[in-house]
Structure 1
């Protein structure tokens, strides 16, 4: 992580009152950004500054005085600033960085830039999920043992610019747990990748199917199995946009026909989103997050209860209206492991199997055709 992040961890461990878990994560991220500044101002590493500038070019647009930054990120940057500066000061003292022109502000950054960086991270970071492992250390395809947790985040200059679609044409695979280098998944093809295998932080956007020339590359920011209402609420609340893709148009029409939620409802959900964006202190932020989570859980429970109460005739009616191409997409591209919700993609163009980008399950082409012949999905 670099010296600044390590120093930030030491500072956070002794900080009183203790930093909340979200603020500690923000401190790590800003510490990593400070490490890039340090490499630039102390060592003259232009590539380090270029990496930081690449993050700052991501959305949302931020004005010179901080226009476009939500109060949530601005207040968070101010809260973690003392701990960040303490960490940077410790590095300066231990390395005599001042003599090389790397003063506190030059390395720790100013309030506007740090708030902007937090805003960029909120909208663009990929969650790094905890891996599935069996007792013998091998990778597991079983999603039933434990809830997977987000153990970190990663921002990429190009991948973070890819737009969302609920019917994506690429699936994201990372190599934090060696999936891209695993022989069983065949992502690493020496004749294509050369002698050097993918590094641990490499991310690939793998085409789910053939993508016509000139078409936009899109990925799903959420599990493809999520319902229309929950998907649209999460996209609006987390990323700040309402999705009007082909799938959302179809499913919103079905929801209105059935008298169920579309995710466009205001009221409490809109209030929760506003409260989260406008939180100006830690207590307000934690309260807003808890409120939004409770609303989300309640809505999901109501939706699941309503689905369980449907009679056979209504289930048949709803199934009969699904277009064949729509159903085929899910049978082909959604992970068959119960509760996973990941997306399947072939590791290379001649592969005879597809791999889930979430749980790592592998499904052969023969199994897919058996399911298709049996009318699965």
Structure 2
């Protein structure tokens, strides 16, 4: 029983490590978005980071030294965490344990099945209230200090921080603090702040 409990704890706290990007291999023409999970890491600090469907962090796997050309690429195998945007002093650092573009029920089902909790982040609470209202039911009561996400913010967040490369769905985070270019943590695609603003303006027209 103790062994099973330890294995369960390991399963809930470990981070899946993505395989090396295909476009980092000499002469490869494979799809760089097709990165399977090749193993797991149990990180002393990383395992303390909670889940949220509008996270403040993105995780970058660089377990093949020199496989990325990013200015922040590690010279030795490592896993790094980057903030997506400025986080207020005392604000919580969070990761999404599931793809950001999954719908609410799919995200919550994965969290229940793999990690044993029901997500009640601001995005999920807004989705649950909307679903309840559509079904003519009473929305779940909010706990003390719980807030719901604004849908306009959610839309802009997903546009800015989810990679638009077909079939990818990775998370875009600044290459360097305060930098104007963001890099995808799955396929390595890059986008500047100017390009994002142009996309946002085009959608608003």
**The structure with more strand, counted as a fraction of residues:** 2
Unaligned runs of 5+ in 2: 136-149
The one of 127, 135, 155 equivalent to 2:42 is 155
The one of 131, 147, 150 equivalent to 1:255 is 131
Equivalent in the alignment of 1:187 = 72
Equivalent in the alignment of 1:353 = 181
Equivalent in the alignment of 1:238 = 114
Greater CA deviation, 129-138 or 354-363? 129-138
Is 1:366 the counterpart of 2:199? The answer is: no
The one of 98, 105, 112 equivalent to 1:222 is 98
How far, CA to CA, are the matches of 1:131 and 1:365 in structure 2? 27
Q: CA deviation at 1:372?
A: 1.2
Is 1:375 the counterpart of 2:203? The answer is: yes
Q: Is the 8 A contact 2:55 2:94 kept in 1?
A: yes
2:129 match: secondary structure: helix
Deviations along 1:71-94, whole A, 9 cap, x unmatched?
Answer: xxx4xxxxxxxxxxxxxxxxxxxx
Q: Is the 8 A contact 2:64 2:76 kept in 1?
A: no
How far, CA to CA, are the matches of 1:372 and 1:206 in structure 2? 23
Is 1:125 the counterpart of 2:11? The answer is: no
Deviations along 1:93-145, whole A, 9 cap, x unmatched?
Answer: xxxxxxxxxxxxxxxxxxx3x434312211011111223314744697753xx
Q: How many residues align?
A: 189
1:254 match: secondary structure: helix
Q: Which has the larger radius of gyration?
A: 1
Equivalent in the alignment of 1:211 = 87
1:211 match: secondary structure: coil
How far, CA to CA, are the matches of 2:96 and 2:154 in structure 1? 16
2:186 match: secondary structure: coil
**The structure with more helix, counted as a fraction of residues:** 1
Unaligned runs of 5+ in 1: 1-73, 75-111, 189-196, 260-321
- TM-score after normalising by structure 2: 0.82
Larger relative contact order (Cα-Cα within 8 Å, sequence gap ≥ 6): 2
- TM-score after normalising by structure 1: 0.46
Cα–Cα, structure 1 residues 203 and 139, in superposed 2: closer, same or farther, change >3 Å? Answer: farther
Q: Is the 8 A contact 2:57 2:81 kept in 1?
A: yes
RMSD, aligned α-carbons: 2.4
Equivalent in the alignment of 2:146 = none
Cα–Cα, structure 1 residues 213 and 131, in superposed 2: closer, same or farther, change >3 Å? Answer: same
2:60 match: secondary structure: strand
